[in-house]
């Protein structure tokens, strides 16, 4: 792969996206219905957010929440519906575990979502991490990075070239075809974003991804050593480090904080904007805000932070 220009263009130096709540007991303040999810996406698009991101999990069952199980709306079908009721904003899965689905199916789903959205989809992808949902469905949790390495090779081939023949330990394809193709077929399909912090996964990011994400960071300085490791991985793979889009995210505490999104940046609008701008100063091209609470009203409140960021960029 030689072309790395698939990332959505933003008028901002660092685009601003947000995580849309899709779970029980979420930062929405409860379980959002699709009518709520649709309203939030449309409000954000009207305000001028660059992207809306949807998690891909079956459940959440975290020790910090007392191992109480939270249900989740399915991410891909939610995104498909949002693709049909929005028109400008980038839509992305953040991120899908390759071990949930066969890589050929992931590629087909990504192509179809890119078609429905008119070329606005970003395929966020990772190795998976949340063991309770694997246990719940009897999915293998071992050798996750090895499984990911095979999966990303197939996904990349099918999106970039439209076909895949691959013989691995965990996955096989035999002249698998990705057709029909969506609106970005000539440039290699939708961009691939890999979410990871581990050195081995960062090496795979340098080999296959258009973009990289690390989440969730209260301070921008936490990202610096990861950028350095990614830069080293790119050089080792013969890739210009500047050709990979670097992204990160933080949780943000707003009035009415539910406590769902942990370790948030908190303060007045100017302080929050200043902390977020530190990520831009590191050269990041996109920032994902985990707003808590996340409602149509709080999306409008956070727009004041975005306005400050826009003014700061204009002066930079």
Q: To 5 degrees, how large is the angle CA 156–CA 158–CA 163?
A: 135
Q: Which two tokens stand for residue 92?
A: 């992305």
Helices 296-315 & 34-47, crossing angle to 10 degrees? 20
Give the model confidence (pLDDT) of 225-240 as tens digits. Answer: 999 999 999 999 999 9
Percent of the chain with pLDDT over 70: 99
Q: Judge if pTM exceeds 0.85.
A: yes
Q: 30: part of which helix (H) or strand (E)?
A: none
Task: Indicate whether 70 pLDDT > 50.
Answer: yes
Residue 2 has pLDDT above 70, yes or no: no
Contact 12, 50 (CB under 8 A): yes
To the nearest 10°, report the CA torsion of 37, 43, 45, 51. -50
How does pLDDT run across 96-124, given as a tens digit for each residue?
999 999 999 999 999 999 999 999 999 99
The yes-or-no verdict on residue 151 having pLDDT over 80 is: yes
- How far apart CA 103 and CA 169 sit, in angstroms, is 13
**Alpha-helical regions (H) of 182-288:** 199-208, 224-236, 269-281
What digits encode the pLDDT tens for the residues 22-64? Answer: 999 999 999 999 999 999 999 999 999 999 999 999 999 999 9
Task: Please state the length of the chain.
Answer: 316
The C-alpha atoms of residue 29 and residue 60 are separated, in whole angstroms, by: 16
Q: Which two tokens stand for residue 104?
A: 């050929």
Percent of the chain with pLDDT over 90: 96
């Amino acid at each position: 792969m030689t072309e790395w220009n698939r990332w959505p263009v933003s008028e901002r130096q660092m685009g601003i996206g947000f995580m849309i709540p899709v779970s029980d007991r979420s930062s929405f303040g409860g379980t959002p219905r699709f009518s709520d999810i649709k309203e939030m996406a449309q409000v954000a698009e009207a305000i001028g957010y660059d992207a809306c991101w949807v998690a891909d999990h079956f459940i959440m069952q975290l020790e910090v929440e007392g191992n109480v199980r939270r249900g989740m709306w399915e991410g891909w079908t939610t995104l498909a519906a949002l693709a049909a009721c929005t028109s400008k904003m980038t839509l992305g899965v953040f991120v899908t575990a390759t071990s949930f689905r066969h890589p050929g199916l992931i590629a087909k789903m990504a192509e179809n979502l890119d078609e429905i959205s008119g070329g606005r989809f970003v395929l966020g992808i990772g190795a998976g991490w949340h063991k309770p949902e694997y246990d719940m469905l009897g999915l293998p949790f071992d050798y996750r990075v090895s499984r990911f390495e095979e999966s990303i090779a197939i996904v990349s081939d099918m999106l970039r070239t439209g076909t895949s023949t691959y013989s691995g330990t965990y996955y096989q394809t035999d002249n698998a075809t990705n057709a029909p193709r969506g609106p970005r077929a000539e440039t290699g399909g939708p961009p691939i974003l890999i979410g990871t912090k581990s050195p081995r996964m960062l090496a795979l990011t340098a080999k296959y991804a258009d973009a990289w994400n690390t989440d969730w960071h209260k301070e921008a300085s936490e990202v610096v050593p990861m950028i350095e490791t990614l830069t080293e991985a790119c050089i080792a793979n013969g890739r210009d480090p500047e050709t990979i889009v670097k992204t990160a995210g933080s949780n943000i505490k707003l009035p009415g904080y539910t406590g769902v999104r942990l370790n948030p940046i908190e303060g007045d609008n100017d302080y929050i904007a200043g902390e977020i701008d530190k990520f831009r100063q590191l050269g990041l091209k996109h920032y994902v805000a985990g707003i808590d609470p996340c409602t149509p009203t709080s999306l409008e409140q956070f727009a004041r932070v975005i306005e400050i960021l826009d003014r700061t960029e204009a002066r930079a």
